[in-house]
Amino acid sequence: MSSAAPGRFGTLFRWLGLTLVVLLLLQLIAVLAVNGWGEESFRQLVSSALVTQSPMAFVGLSLMLISARLEEPQARRTPLHWLVAVISGVLALSLLVTIPVAISGDRAVSDEADQALNSQKGQLQMARAQMQAPEVVDQVIGQLEQGGQIPANATDDQKRQAARSIMDRQLQQAESQLKQAEQRRDLAANQRRIGGIGAGVVLMLAFALLALVAVL
């Protein structure tokens, strides 16, 4: 390999890195242009954009730091080193600020999901209680007779068995839907806490470490 090869790779890495950092900046500008920081949904959107797009900037800053080492192996604390350190520090602080926002948003979303599930559980308990009410059973029998689902010569016991069978199936469907809703809630909570808050903490530490490496 010629002596000019490291310099060429250094230039390539530097511009690739700058491009990735600029892409993050453009993504954040597109979100911040809405200027709705007073709304919880907007804060969550900014937090999500920063966490999901920051890995791209981390790769870009790492490439810039590698390019500085390739171009000037013996030099320390060059302008490019300081640029990487400053950008990394700003991103680390930004992530530090967004972590409480993400925690607050997770708590609000979890409360809303719990309220919706509690409402479904209440409706399910009410349906179980109605199954024991004779007037409700009679009403279901009337509906089945009108729909032709019960033979005209069926006895009262057969009619009640048919009605309770229909009500049992409906109750089982409601219980299945409730279980699916609980699974979706738990999955969404894990995604927010691990993929959002957890990733934010890891990225914050990674950017802080990169800032230190750049100036040491």
Instruction: Give the C-alpha separation, 65 to 81, whole Å.
Output: 7
- Reduced DSSP (H G I as helix, E B as strand, rest coil) percent helix, strand, coil of the chain, to 5: 85, 0, 15
pLDDT digits (tens, 9 = 90+) for 18-59: 999 999 999 888 888 877 667 777 777 888 888 888 999 999
Instruction: Give the C-alpha separation, 18 to 56, whole Å.
Output: 11
pTM, 2 dp: 0.69
Q: What pLDDT was estimated at residue 6?
A: 58
H or E element at residue 69: helix 40-71
- What residue ranges of the chain have pLDDT lower than 50? 1-2
Distances (CA, A) of 196 to 12, 27, 100: 32, 17, 11
Q: What pLDDT was estimated at residue 1?
A: 46
Closest C-alpha to 90, from 14, 21, 10, 11: 21
